[in-house]
């Protein structure tokens, strides 16, 4: 696998790029944790403070350096609109995302997930995973728009029910 790209352009959104999250991008981590619905639907902790946001950004940088996954800032003209990325597990890569409310409804997450999935497919990955907590209609819509299909029901680490989605990048079948 090639090294994770530092930047990816979103061709259908002029001026928007995905750029690797760096340690000094901790303010977007703090901002997203303070958006009322982001901790509800993601792994962002609701009680995140500045020290925690700095630590979270540093952990993401270390994960990218170790090729375990990468988080990108959705950047429009130098303004951080949110984050997207993927992490590696024994089953492959899972994509994730969160946007500030004022950046939603523009197709940014759909474009970002599609760009990340295309890059992973070009690296020979057969499947990409996405998990949505039950009731998160917006994320389910992203999954459908990006071509993911429901794979199975599951349980989040905190006990909440979720749906696991897959996107087949090549014709091989996926294991149960």
> What CATH number is given to the structural domain containing 120?
3.40.630.30
Query: Considering the chain, what percentage of its residues have pLDDT values greater than 90?
Result: 85
On whether residue 38 sits in a domain, the answer given is yes
Determine the pLDDT at residue 2.
84
Maximum CA extent, the chain: 45
- Beta carbons within 10 angstroms of residue 91's beta carbon: 12
Q: What is the domain count for the chain?
A: 1
pLDDT tens figures, 25-57: 999 999 999 999 999 999 899 899 999 999 999
Q: Which two tokens stand for residue 154?
A: 């599951």
On whether residue 174 sits in a domain, the answer given is no
On whether residue 88 sits in a domain, the answer given is yes
On whether residue 175 sits in a domain, the answer given is no
Determine the pLDDT at residue 173.
47
Size of the chain, expressed as the number of residues it contains: 176
Q: What value does the mean pLDDT of the chain take?
A: 93
- Average pLDDT of 164-170? 92
- Residue 47 contacts residue 39 (beta carbons within 8 Å): no
Q: Which residues pair with 149 in a beta bridge?
A: 166
Determine the pLDDT at residue 171.
52
On whether residue 173 sits in a domain, the answer given is no
pLDDT tens figures, 89-134: 888 999 999 999 999 999 999 999 999 999 999 999 999 999 999 9
Range of the domain at 64: 7-168
On whether residue 19 sits in a domain, the answer given is yes
């Amino acid at each position: 696998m090639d090294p994770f790209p530092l930047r990816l352009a979103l061709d259908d959104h002029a001026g928007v790029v995905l750029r690797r999250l760096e340690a000094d991008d901790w303010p977007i981590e703090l901002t997203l944790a303070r958006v009322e619905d982001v901790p509800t639907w993601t792994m962002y902790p609701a009680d995140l403070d500045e020290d925690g946001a700095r630590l979270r950004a540093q952990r993401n940088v270390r994960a990218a350096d170790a090729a375990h996954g990468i988080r990108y800032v959705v950047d429009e003209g130098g303004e951080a609109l949110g984050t997207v990325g993927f992490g590696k597990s024994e089953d492959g890569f899972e994509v994730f995302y969160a946007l500030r409310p004022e950046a939603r409804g523009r197709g940014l997450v759909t474009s970002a997930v599609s760009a990340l999935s295309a890059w992973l497919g070009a690296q020979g990955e057969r499947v990409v995973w996405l998990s949505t907590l039950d009731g998160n209609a917006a994320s389910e819509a992203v999954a459908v728009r990006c071509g993911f299909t429901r794979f199975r029901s599951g349980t989040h680490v905190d006990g909440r029910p979720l749906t696991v989605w897959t996107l087949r990048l090549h014709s091989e079948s996926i294991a149960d």
